[in-house]
Amino acid sequence: MSEINNDLWLFDYNQGAAYEAFSKCQDVFRVIETHLQNNFDFKEKVILEIGAGSGKFTPFLAKQCSKLYVVERSASLMQINRDKNIHAINTEFILSDVKDLAMKPNSIDVIFAGWSLTSMREYFGIILESFRKFLRKDGIILLVENAGNDEFCKIMNLEEFTSIMKNVYVDMGFTQRKVVSTTIKLPCKNVFYDAFPNKKEAMLPSLEIQHKVLILEMQSSVLFQKITCNHKEEG
């Protein structure tokens, strides 16, 4: 997998405005949010959103739960997210790398990552150990990631990488819950090229790009079991 890692992720996270402009074009019909709302109970839950970026999912999550912790390591993206959610009184923003995050043990019901956990793959071991400490016994980890076999992944040349990561997540203990078909709707091509500066050669067939998204879930009991087994094998 290391041979195809260098080109990923492709955003320049210091360019918050370009990131946010593209983020607004993702899932314009809110298919992902509708699926999450219809299939997961966030009411009265404490949610930890990791790698939140400029806040694609933050407003939705804040409305669904009792308490939301928003974690992002980029100061520019965090500021955009804060400005968008300034009136969300149940939301706390934490500027931190996820691998360095400190939370109270057994304090989180849901750990949510929207297109972000894959970018942390070099630290999966450290991060999952932290998740085990943060999560309550009946908690879950919920991921939104690329599903592949769609226009977006083909344009980005991510088909092989996406297939590899799907298998990695299954091996980690995640269950593939749903493939959701969404649409990226661009106002102009520059929004795409500004967000992905090293994909200037990519050909966009139109301003509407079909995007398939994979919803993955891991129960805390599975995480605890996996980490316990790993510790036994290492011992």
Please check the confidence at residue 40 and state whether its pLDDT lies above 80. yes
Percent of all residues in the chain with a pLDDT value above 90, rounded to a whole number: 86
Please name the residue that has the structure tokens 């991510």.
Answer: 158
pLDDT band at 1 (very low <50, low <70, confident <90, very high): very low
Per-residue pLDDT of 156-178, as tens digits, reads 999 999 999 999 999 999 999 99
pLDDT at 44 over 90: yes
- Measured at the CA of 191, the angle between CA 3 and CA 92, to 5 degrees, comes to 80
The answer, yes or no, to whether the previous bond of 115 is cis (omega within 30 of 0) is no
Would you state the pLDDT for residue 84? 94
pTM: 0.93
DSSP 8-state class, residue 12: -
pLDDT the model gives residue 9: 52
What tokens does 65 get? 């739960």
SS percent in the chain: helix, strand, coil, step 5:
45, 25, 30
Structure tokens given for 63:
């409305």
> Tokens at residue 81, please?
């997210």
Mean pLDDT (whole number) for 3-10: 44
Residue 11 has pLDDT above 60, yes or no: yes
Q: What homologous superfamily does CATH list for 2-234? A: Vaccinia Virus protein VP39 (3.40.50.150)
| pLDDT (tens digit per residue) in 163-222 | 999 999 999 999 999 999 999 999 999 999 999 988 889 999 999 999 999 999 999 999
